[in-house]
Amino acid sequence: MDLISDHISHRFGALEVLDDVSFTVRSGEVVAIVGPSGCGKSTLLSILGGLLQSSSGRAEWRGAPPPDSRNPLTFVFQDFALLPWCTVAENVEFPLLHAGLSEHERRAVVEDALRRTSLSDFCGAYPKQLSGGMRQRVGIARALAVRPAILLMDEPLSALDSQTRELLMEDFIRLLADGSMGAVYVTHNLEEAVRIADRIVVLSRRPGRIRQVVSIPLSRSERGDIHAREQLLALQSELWSLIREQAVEAEREVQHA
């Protein structure tokens, strides 16, 4: 299943946030969206996932989602968005409650999602009892439970410490390895972008327009190699040079606002 951003523009009142953004996320592909603060990355993701109506242009999907997919476009949120009154297992089960599954089937799906995210031992815990990394794992387990075709990840690691980020990044790479699931990965962290994405969409400062689409010439499995490190750093540096000047201007704009 492909996800298409078709000439999407958006404004909040008089504030123009996105301007004519078009690109396609192909089946199984991971596309990162980067850009200076306030360029409309999260707004674009909300539009792509149907949580915000664009002012013009539209988000479309083409092709058939996997037959067992219960929510083809599934979000993983920056702030985890877990129900604090539900246990880990109940949070993962939450989106399945209206999927027409029997209790037995739901339990099997929940157990599978918890096993894939190494949370089986914490199924009865409440979110307040978990660390930030574990909470995000619950968010990922909940997303996996509905078998998405494309994950929409809005800075999923930005609220976490660096060690947890590293561990979860490894989890993401492992989950996306077989190409059965694509992703749109919004981040301001260029290192994350070059590690996880097949292509990187670089947005300009507000109103966000596509400045460049950068393809990563290495497969994700090759990127762990020590020899690939230099190439990735060079890419990161290239991306930073694309963003830096505009990031400085955006920062200045925020300070003067």
Partner 1 sequence: MLDRAPAKASPPDDASTEARPVVFRGAGFAPKAGRYSGWIALVLVIGLWQLAGSAGWVNPLFLPPPTAIGLAIWKLAMSGALWNHVSASVVRIGSGWILGTMAGVAVGFAIGLSSLARGVGITFISALFPIPKIALLPLLILWLGIGEEPKIATIALGVFFSTAISVYSGVDAVPRNLIRMAQSFGVPFASIVRRVVWPGALPSILAGFRISASVALLLVVSAEMIGAQFGIGAFVLQAGNLMQTDQLLAGVVVLSLFGLAVGKLINWLETRLLHWR
User: Which residues are near partner 1 by CB under 8 A?
Assistant: 49-51, 71, 73-75, 77, 79, 81, 83-86, 94-95, 97-98, 126, 128, 146
Residue 127 CB, shortest distance to partner 1, in Å, is: 8
Q: Judged by CB, which is closer to partner 1: 86, or 173?
A: 86
Q: How many Cα neighbours within 13 Å face the side chain of 115?
A: 6
- Bin 28: left if φ > 0, else alpha if -120 < ψ < 50, else beta: left
200 with 214: CB under 8 angstroms? yes
Distance in Å from the first CA to the final CA of the chain? 41
For the chain, the maximum distance between any two Cα atoms, rounded to a whole number of angstroms, is: 57
Residue 246 CB, shortest distance to partner 1, in Å, is: 28
Residue 51 CB, shortest distance to partner 1, in Å, is: 6
Spatial distance between the Cα atoms of 33 and 75, rounded to a whole number of angstroms: 15
Residue 101 CB, shortest distance to partner 1, in Å, is: 13
The candidate with the shortest Cα–Cα distance to 137, out of 64, 76, 214, is 76
Q: Which two tokens stand for residue 48?
A: 């792509």
Q: Judged by CB, which is closer to partner 1: 50, or 179?
A: 50
Q: Judged by CB, which is closer to partner 1: 112, or 238?
A: 112
Residue type, 124: G
Q: What's CA 42's distance to the chain center, in Å?
A: 10
Angle at 230 between CA 229 and CA 234, to 5 degrees: 120
Q: Judged by CB, which is closer to partner 1: 129, or 212?
A: 129
Residue 69 CB, shortest distance to partner 1, in Å, is: 12
Q: Judged by CB, which is closer to partner 1: 2, or 79?
A: 79
